[in-house]
Copies of this chain bind each other. A is one copy, B any other.
Amino acid sequence: MSDPFVVVGGDAAGLSAASKYTRENPDSDVVVFEKGRWVSYAHCGTPYYVKGEVERLTDLLSLSPEEAAERGIDLRREHEVVAVDTDAETVTVEGGGERFEQPYGDLLVATGAHAITDPIDGYHRDMAFTMHGLDSAAAIRAALADPDEPAVDTSIEYVDAELVDHYAAIAPPERVAIVGGGYVGVEMAEAFRAHGLETHVFQRGPHLLSPFGDSVCERVADHLREQGVELHLNCSVEELAGGDRVEAVVHENGRVDVDLALVGIGVAPNSQLLADTPVELGESGAVAVDEYGRTNVENVYAAGDCAEDDHTVTGEPAWVPLGLTANRAGRAIGQTVAGDPEPVGDVAGTAVVKAFELEAGRVGIIDHDDARAAGFDPVTKTITAGSRSGYYPGNEPTTVSLTADRESGRVIGGSIVGKDRAAIRIDTLATALDSDLTVAELERLDLAYAPPFSPVWDPILVAAKVLRGELE
């Protein structure tokens, strides 16, 4: 019997690959090693669990270990792969009190990413968190709840009861700091404000959600202020000060007393497992792969938050650690390993985020330095138009920014922000980018019109019209 398909990491990419592989190839073996207790959970749902809109932690699981077993997947939780030997085609595993060598026929590295906390000093203090994984989510929700009314059910097998009990016993915070104004920061500001907490967001640079571009950032910042969030922009946090617990955020210009601090300043790929192997990493530090998710070493694949993908616009490798990319690449690799090669697909950098009542989306190359680095001569125009016919109730100003390459006229990026169905409209631009549409072609798209959903000229068409005027 041949060696099994071995998957390192039991989250979106890993379990998508294992599921697809067993479906295509039910008689072959697939083993998934997951170092934690949780598998296949919706990371993007954790802020809404903390907020209280999602009731149970287990609602966030997309595939339970039992379901994985039913699919024929040999899933080993609390088993960590600590080394890879690509010559011997084995991995070294620690788990269940043992350390052993596991031979592989094919290997998928789907180790994900981790939240970074450097260079913030004092992260070791209690009541300092990152938002990465269900244990963090459970701990924060426990910390926000009154000790008399525990919010987290510790009877669920996967829950770290000791951790939850620790935070459940602490009096809930009144003032919280969020260090970092990216997705996590913005989503968690909404969650903390829903609990009535004084909420401070610290952003080192001038813009929240900087990958979304200036026009989105400005509207989101204004809206967060309207929602009672205190923004500290252009403000580098130096330390989470205090004793055992965090008591204050110390920044370059002063300090703000808080009872809880959440650090959301970014993530980094978990590629260190491959450090001593011939598997090549890309410039981003994530694993370099080809269009089928193959690394430079035979029979070794990588997918999800630890791997790069090709960018739709530039054609160059990019590291965009998001959920669809992970699921799709995992699934494609499962099919490829099963013998029916399937491309993992490009990434367009499509992202959407909810910020209280605002919705924002972005896609492609928005930053002009990034665009120039990719060989484009970027031109951007921003318009604000109605989401519906002006006379129809619920019409909301919708801001669209479009970026194109001056010479070719090709659309290379864009963003949308507004309160009414704004985010999902980014899919139109994602599709346009995938097809290399020019601004003129975008302007002539036959987009939907009906008073409740869009004006005659959809905001995207208005933006295309204005940008085209600038290009000519």
Name A residues whose Cβ lies closer than 8 Å to a Cβ of B: 12, 42, 44-45, 48, 53-54, 59-60, 62, 312, 322-325, 327-328, 343, 345-354, 359, 361, 363, 389, 391-393, 421, 423-428, 430-432, 434-435, 437, 441, 444-454, 456-458, 460-461
Bound CA span A458–B328, Å: 12
Q: Which residues of B contact A352 (CB under 8 A)?
A: 448-450, 453-454
Looking across the interface, which residue of chain B has its beta carbon closest to that of A444?
B345
Q: Which residues of B contact A452 (CB under 8 A)?
A: 48, 354, 359, 423
Nearest CB in chain B: distance from A216 CB, A: 14
Q: Are B445 and A431 in contact (CB under 8 A)?
A: yes
A431 CB contact (under 8 Å) in B60, B323, B353, B435: B435
Given contacts A44-B450, A346-B446, A425-B424, contact A53 B392 (CB under 8 A): yes
18 A-B pairs with CB atoms under 8 Å apart are A12-B456, A42-B456, A48-B451, A53-B393, A54-B392, A60-B391, A312-B446, A323-B449, A324-B461, A346-B446, A348-B446, A352-B448, A424-B448, A424-B453, A424-B454, A427-B445, A427-B458, A434-B446
Q: Which residues of B contact A328 (CB under 8 A)?
A: 444
Nearest CB in chain B: distance from A423 CB, A: 5
6 closest A-B pairs (Cβ-Cβ)? A435-B435, A345-B444, A348-B446, A59-B391, A431-B431, A352-B448
Bound CA span A28–B180, Å: 57
Q: Which residues of B contact A45 (CB under 8 A)?
A: 389, 391-392, 451
Q: Which residues of B contact A350 (CB under 8 A)?
A: 446-449
Q: Are B322 and A354 in contact (CB under 8 A)?
A: no
Q: Which residues of B contact A391 (CB under 8 A)?
A: 42, 45, 48, 54, 59-60
Q: Which residues of B contact A457 (CB under 8 A)?
A: 324, 327
- Identical chains in the assembly: 2
Given contacts A391-B54, A446-B430, A458-B427, contact A44 B451 (CB under 8 A): yes
Looking across the interface, which residue of chain B has its beta carbon closest to that of A452?
B354
Q: Which residues of B contact A444 (CB under 8 A)?
A: 328, 343, 345-346
Nearest CB in chain B: distance from A184 CB, A: 12
Q: Are B392 and A48 in contact (CB under 8 A)?
A: yes
Nearest CB in chain B: distance from A435 CB, A: 3
Nearest CB in chain B: distance from A28 CB, A: 21
Bound CA span A457–B361, Å: 17
Q: Are A446 and B54 in contact (CB under 8 A)?
A: no
Q: Which residues of B contact A60 (CB under 8 A)?
A: 391
Nearest CB in chain B: distance from A105 CB, A: 25
Nearest CB in chain B: distance from A410 CB, A: 13
Nearest CB in chain B: distance from A312 CB, A: 7
Looking across the interface, which residue of chain B has its beta carbon closest to that of A61?
B391
Known contacts A45-B391, A434-B437; 17 additional CB pairs below 8 A are A42-B389, A44-B451, A45-B451, A48-B392, A312-B446, A324-B446, A350-B448, A352-B450, A354-B453, A423-B450, A423-B453, A424-B424, A424-B425, A424-B453, A427-B458, A430-B447, A434-B445
Nearest CB in chain B: distance from A139 CB, A: 19
Q: Are A450 and B392 in contact (CB under 8 A)?
A: no
Q: Are B345 and A44 in contact (CB under 8 A)?
A: no
Nearest CB in chain B: distance from A178 CB, A: 18
Q: Which residues of B contact A346 (CB under 8 A)?
A: 444, 446
Bound CA span A426–B449, Å: 11
Bound CA span A444–B48, Å: 28
Q: Which residues of B contact A450 (CB under 8 A)?
A: 44, 351-354, 423
Q: Which residues of B contact A427 (CB under 8 A)?
A: 425, 427-428, 445, 447-448, 458, 460
Q: Which residues of B contact A343 (CB under 8 A)?
A: 444
Q: Which residues of B contact A451 (CB under 8 A)?
A: 42, 44-45, 48
Bound CA span A190–B54, Å: 34
Looking across the interface, which residue of chain B has its beta carbon closest to that of A436?
B435
Q: Are A349 and B446 in contact (CB under 8 A)?
A: yes
A426 CB contact (under 8 Å) in B44, B354, B437, B448: B448
Q: Which residues of B contact A424 (CB under 8 A)?
A: 421, 424-425, 448, 453-454
Nearest CB in chain B: distance from A291 CB, A: 11
